[in-house]
């Protein structure tokens, strides 16, 4: 049997920077090493656990010196659940590295000469800012090192309701308190778990595909409405109703209590029938003088307050006079399309998810907006030259694609349409830079505005304004 090669171990290495995916950086023998849960200024011993041609990955096993900038993490689950990895980094430093990430990607990948780079827009809230969380039930909770090392400790309780451990698809970390969503989010999660334990309800086993309780989704709103969705693996009407009645009886603030039976191998419920148990099958978000109807499958930016600031930047960059034809690509539920409609002649929204387009139409009707038109389907197929000729060439195109960015056919169609302005919103500056590079023969990047939507993570949103070059 071939013996596994021992990976290197390095002592007293200084962390110097932060790079891809929010991991910190050290340099050893001219090789870049990526390490999580450390910050620049820390001096640590590093165990390498992944060796690539041009870089190494490792983890800190001992701290010799802490960075003067390091702060104490506020969450007891720090380092395990995989979220909020930058708690040890002061918020102003988080913003600095996010800004650097945006600029580095645009200049290095996009080969873009940046004219105006606005300072990143901070999030007013750095905790309890999310409006949606999804928790998973598991009968195989993640055991901490303390539990494993304590030989005399008999572990009786293996059920959990919490988050997936990174890269461990079937292991769930039981969460005591999460700082991402405002109350009663924590209270509801704990109440559901306690009820399940007290009444011997079975927690899901992802490998064996057994167990009654599967997922818990909690959605809060700025209008103080509250939606809770419980996902069960199979129907048991009696037990399901007792649990849901327990929830509604103890949390009268729930305005929409729903459930779904999901017996599929995966947790996704977008293709399933979500049923109403009590209350309304939706709630509303308000932005300026607009109301947005949010159903159980509706997408809405998860940081509501910062989403409003983001959309204001998009509108400012578009600089609409009221005479423009606007295309809103990857429109989702039409939030941006409806937000800019009153400053536009006409807005055409295109989105892959059919249910999202139905929401977009409802939101236009709800707000008495009559100059929007929405189309469902793959954008690379819908946004053809024939479509553009029929609907009229856009003066402004707004783009907000998923992390993977745009398909090359979409970029070709944009170049055929040749709008005067493109406002490109992205949650991934790397793919944004790649896409913009393909537009540089015809467009110049006038300004960019990074926006922090997710404090204590490395994720950053960026808005770029492109203008058509004069012939």
Q: Which position among 75, 84, 178, 427 bears the catalytic label?
A: 427
Over 70: is that where the pLDDT of 434 sits? Answer: yes
Quick count: other Cβ atoms within 10 Å of Cβ 5? 7
Tokens of 359: 């929401």
Q: 20 or 359: which carries more pLDDT confidence?
A: 359
Query: Would you call 81 a catalytic residue per the annotation?
Result: no
Sheet holding 43-51, edge to edge: 9-14, 43-51, 55-65, 31-35, 24-28, 17-18
Element (H or E) spanning 101, and its range? helix 91-108
What does pTM read for this prediction?
A: 0.92
The domains located in the chain, with CATH, are 9-70 (2.40.50.140), 93-126+303-468 (3.40.50.150), 132-287 (2.40.50.1070)
Q: Which residues contact 304 (CB under 8 A, 6 or more apart)?
A: 131, 221, 222, 285
Rg (CA), the chain: 24
Average pLDDT, the chain: 94
* pLDDT tens per residue, range 361-412: 999 999 999 999 999 999 999 999 999 999 999 999 999 999 999 999 999 9
What three-state secondary structure class fits 175? coil
Tokens of 210: 């057994």
Round to whole Å and give the CA distance between 46 and 59: 5
* pLDDT tens per residue, range 350-363: 999 888 899 999 99
Element (H or E) spanning 249, and its range? helix 237-250
């Amino acid at each position: 049997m071939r013996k596994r090669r021992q990976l290197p171990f390095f002592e007293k290495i200084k962390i110097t920077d932060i790079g891809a995916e929010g991991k910190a950086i050290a340099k050893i023998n001219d090789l870049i090493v990526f390490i999580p849960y450390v910050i620049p200024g820390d001096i640590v011993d590093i165990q390498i656990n992944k060796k690539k041609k041009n870089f190494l990955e490792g983890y800190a096993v001992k701290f010799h010196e802490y960075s003067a900038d390091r702060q104490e993490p506020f969450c007891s689950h720090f380092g395990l659940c995989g979220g909020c990895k930058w708690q040890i980094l002061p918020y102003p430093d988080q913003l600095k590295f996010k800004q650097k990430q945006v600029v580095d990607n645009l200049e290095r990948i996009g080969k873009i000469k940046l004219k105006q780079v606005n300072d990143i827009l901070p999030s007013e809230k750095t905790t309890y800012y999310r409006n949606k969380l999804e928790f998973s039930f598991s009968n195989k909770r993640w055991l901490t090192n303390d539990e494993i090392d304590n030989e005399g400790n008999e572990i009786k309780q293996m059920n959990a309701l919490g988050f997936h451990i990174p890269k461990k698809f079937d292991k769930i970390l039981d969460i005591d308190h999460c700082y991402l969503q405002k109350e009663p989010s924590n209270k509801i999660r704990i109440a559901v778990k306690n009820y399940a334990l007290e009444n011997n309800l079975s927690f899901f086993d992802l490998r064996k595909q057994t167990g009654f309780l599967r997922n818990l989704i909690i959605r809060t709103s700025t209008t103080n409405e509250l939606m809770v969705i419980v996902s069960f693996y199979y129907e048991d009407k009696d037990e399901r109703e007792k649990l849901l009645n327990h929830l509604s009886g103890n949390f009268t603030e729930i305005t929409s209590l729903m459930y779904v039976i999901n017996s599929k191998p995966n947790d996704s419920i977008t293709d399933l029938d979500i049923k109403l148990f009590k209350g309304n099958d939706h709630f509303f978000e308000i932005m300026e003088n607009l109301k947005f109807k949010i159903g159980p499958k509706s997408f809405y930016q998860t940081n509501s307050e910062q989403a409003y600031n983001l959309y204001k930047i998009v509108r400012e960059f578009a600089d609409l006079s009221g005479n423009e034809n606007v295309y809103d690509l990857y429109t989702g539920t039409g939030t941006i399309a409806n937000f800019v409609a009153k400053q536009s002649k006409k807005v055409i929204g295109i989105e892959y998810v059919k249910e999202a387009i139905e929401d977009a139409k409802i939101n236009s009707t709800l707000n008495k907006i009559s100059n929007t038109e929405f189309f469902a389907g793959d954008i690379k197929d819908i946004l053809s030259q024939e479509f553009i000729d029929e609907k009229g060439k856009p003066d402004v195109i707004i783009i907000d694609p998923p992390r993977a960015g745009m398909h090359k056919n979409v970029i070709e169609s944009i170049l055929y349409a040749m709008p005067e302005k493109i406002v490109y919103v992205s949650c991934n500056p790397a793919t944004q830079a790649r896409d913009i590079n393909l537009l540089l023969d015809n467009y110049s990047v006038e300004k960019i505005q990074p926006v922090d939507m997710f404090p204590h993570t490395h994720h950053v949103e960026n808005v770029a304004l492109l203008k058509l070059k004069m012939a």
